[in-house]
Amino acid sequence: MTRYALLLVVVGCSGDPDPAGKKPPGADSGDPPTTTTQPSDTADTHEPTITWEQPAFAEPPVAADLDADDGVLHVSLTPAPNTFDIVDWQTRLIIPVEGHSYEGSHPAPTLRANVGDVVRVDVQNDLDDPTTIHWHGLAVPFEMDGVTWMRDPIYPGDRFTYEFAVQKPGTYWYHPHFDTAAQVDRGLYGALVVADPDDPPVDRELVLLLDDWREDQSIPVDADHVHGAHGAEGVWTVNGLVRPVLNVTAGERIRLRLINTSNQGYLWLGGGAAPLTVVGRDQGLLPSIESVDRELLAPGDRVDLLWTPGTDAAAPALEDWPYSLHGGAAMGDAVPLLDVVVDGDDPAATTTDWPETVRPPTPDTVAPAFTYTFQGSAHTDDWMINGERFPDITVQQLAEGETVVFEVRNLSATEHPFHLHGLHMELLARDGVAPAQYSDVDTVNLGLYETLRLRTTADNLGAWMAHCHILPHGDGGMMTVLEVVE
């Protein structure tokens, strides 16, 4: 495993923000700079010292449960302005982020609930702007969905309590749904894990929030929505850390819950010398394990991977391959998202006891009830569904309880992650080709000029947003409403 030679440089970082001073003194010279110690007793002082050491992998904190009762997860999530730094120890670049955080923490706390729990979240809006929280991937009652279609946002200084039951195990996440592209980009997102006591046991479970950052965060978020081959902004982080190093023990079995929280960047994941072992996606565990060379993780997507490191197996790796939103594989080398060091000398854990069932996709034989056609152009920055820009849209209605097949088509020259609130969907076919097994999703990438066939059951009353999860596209109008009525 490659370990970077660690050049340890400790510099004093003044509490005075220095807009031109991304690189601290001494960063470009071989000489160790003079170390100054800065007292951290002023309110605006952050990170008194920077070390150019590869950071150790760390998970987001777990939100404290304010309720002693089993069956209730009661937490507080206060969004507020927060200044933090993204430190690229490889290039010695510091990206100062005039960001937002929940509970003063970037990354935000992970909400860990058990299936069947009631989740209660007290929000006190300490931002200068209205906000909401949306529970991405969870079917919650409409008034708890955090949208502003027929609902008010939480105004600055106001409070709101979200409350809903979590019925389906899986890897979900939360983020605002007001000025969404900008608020998510500033760091407002966290993981919501719904654990199932019947899930196959693992030795360790890790949450990985993946986000990307522009070198200059002062550029308005909407102004450069497609930047680079991935639509990514430049520097990817894992839980706010650039390429951290994770120590694992040979013989242990690790479940990783990955969430692409970037407001527009795609990840095309690879596993280095070994394929990726995919055990879950958006809506929980897959019927059977899938072993893949690459896994596309579009904004909003989740994937659960299984790692079984051992001396008889290739060391686990997580890398990002160049991917173009204008047609897939692109030129270039994979970039490591983290480094893994395997300690010990046991053989790899086996996956033979992982429960697997055969569940083929539902046959794609029903005529679609309606079609969403995604249109638009990066040149004009004009994004629409069926020729309409949100909020000037036609609401598509479904009767409670009905099951329909619908189509999502892409007539634009860029890919879009299609996301539906409140309901979940089975992917029946992609350009006429069925997936290898049953596939239950809330976010599904719509490839270039592709047509998706999706099947949903209208089992949750409400006016559900359906939109592109490249958030500047969604905010720009690529959003519509699918309403379930009595």
Residues at the site binding ligand C2O, with contacts judged by CB under 6 A: 134, 136, 175, 177, 300, 419, 421, 465, 467, 469
Count of Cβ atoms closer than 10 Å to residue 398 Cβ: 21
Helix%, strand%, coil% for the chain, nearest 5: 5, 45, 55
* Burial label, 401 (beta-carbon count in 10 A; 0-12, 13-18, 19+): exposed
Q: Which amino acid is at 153?
A: P
Residue type, 281: R
Nearer to ligand C2O, 243 or 467 (CB): 467
Q: For Cu ion, which residue of 416, 419, 421, 467 counts as binding (CB under 5 A)? A: 416
Q: How far is the CB of 176 from ligand C2O (least distance, A)?
A: 9
Toward ligand C2O, which CB reaches closer, 57 or 390? 390
Give, for 249, the enclosing helix (H) or strand (E): strand 245-249
Q: Which does 186 bind (CB under 5 to 8 A by kind): ligand C2O, Cu ion, none?
A: none
Q: Is 194 in the site for Cu ion (CB under 5 A)?
A: no
Least distance from ligand C2O to the Cβ atom of residue 300, Å:
5
Stretch near Cu ion under the rule CB under 5 A, chosen from 18-26, 35-43, 81-89, 409-417: 409-417
Taking the least distance from each CB to Cu ion, the nearer of 113 and 221 is: 221
As a whole number of angstroms, the distance between CA 85 and CA 90 comes to 15
List the single partner that 468 binds among ligand C2O, Cu ion, none, CB under 5 to 8 Å by kind.
Answer: Cu ion
Side chain identity at residue 126, one-letter code: D
Q: How far, in Å, CA of 485 to CA of 390, rounded?
A: 20
Nearer to ligand C2O, 202 or 466 (CB): 466
What is the SS3 assignment for 289?
A: strand
Q: Of these partners, Cu ion, ligand C2O, none, which one is at the site of residue 302 (CB under 5 to 8 Å by kind)?
A: none
Least Å distance between CB 335 and ligand C2O? 25
CA 476: distance to chain centroid? 20
Instruction: Give me 471's structure tokens.
Output: 């958030």
Within 13 Å and on the Cβ side, how many CA atoms surround 126? 16
- 468 makes contact with Cu ion (CB under 5 A): yes
Q: How far is the CB of 83 from ligand C2O (least distance, A)?
A: 25
Nearest C-alpha neighbor of 294 from the set 324, 316, 279, 272:
272
CB 32 → ligand C2O: shortest distance, Å? Answer: 45
* Cβ-proximal residue to ligand C2O, closest one: 136
Closest CA relative to residue 221, chosen from 188, 187, 181: 181
| Binding status of residue 166 toward Cu ion by CB under 5 A | no
The partner residues of 112 in beta bridges, in order of sequence, read: 193
Contact 222, 203 (CB under 8 A): no
416 binds, among ligand C2O, Cu ion, none (CB under 5 to 8 A by kind): Cu ion
Half-sphere exposure of 33 (CA within 13 A, CB side): 20
Site string for Cu ion, 311-350 (x = CB under 5 A): ----------------------------------------
Choose between 207 and 315: whose C-beta lies nearer to ligand C2O: 207
Residue 469 in contact with Cu ion, rule: CB under 5 A? no
Is 242 or 458 the residue whose CB approaches ligand C2O more closely?
A: 458
Q: Does residue 470 bind Cu ion (CB under 5 A)?
A: yes
Tell me the closest approach of the beta carbon of residue 23 to ligand C2O, in angstroms. 35
Residue 177 site contact among ligand C2O, Cu ion, none (CB < 5 to 8 Å, cut-off depends on kind):
ligand C2O
Q: How far apart are CA 148 and CA 129, in angstroms?
A: 14
Contact 423, 466 (CB under 8 A): no
Instruction: Using CB under 5 A, pick the residue from 187, 202, 473, 479 that binds Cu ion.
Output: 473
- Omega prior to 391 cis, within 30 of 0: yes
Q: Are 191 and 173 in contact (CB under 8 A)?
A: yes
Nearest approach, Cβ of residue 227 and Cu ion (Å): 14
Nearer to ligand C2O (CB atom), residue 230 or residue 467? 467
Q: Which does 470 bind (CB under 5 to 8 A by kind): Cu ion, ligand C2O, none?
A: Cu ion
CA distance 180 to 58: 26
144 binds Cu ion, rule: CB under 5 A:
no
Residue 247 bridge partners (DSSP) = 341
| Binding of residue 281 to Cu ion (CB under 5 A) | no
Q: Could you give the CA distance from residue 359 to residue 288 in angstroms, rounded to a whole number? A: 8
Quote the least distance from Cβ 259 to ligand C2O, whole Å. Answer: 10
Distance of closest approach, residue 134 Cβ to ligand C2O, in angstroms: 5
Write the DSSP symbol of residue 461: -
Nearer to Cu ion, 121 or 468 (CB): 468
Interface positions with Cu ion (CB under 5 A): 416, 468, 470, 473
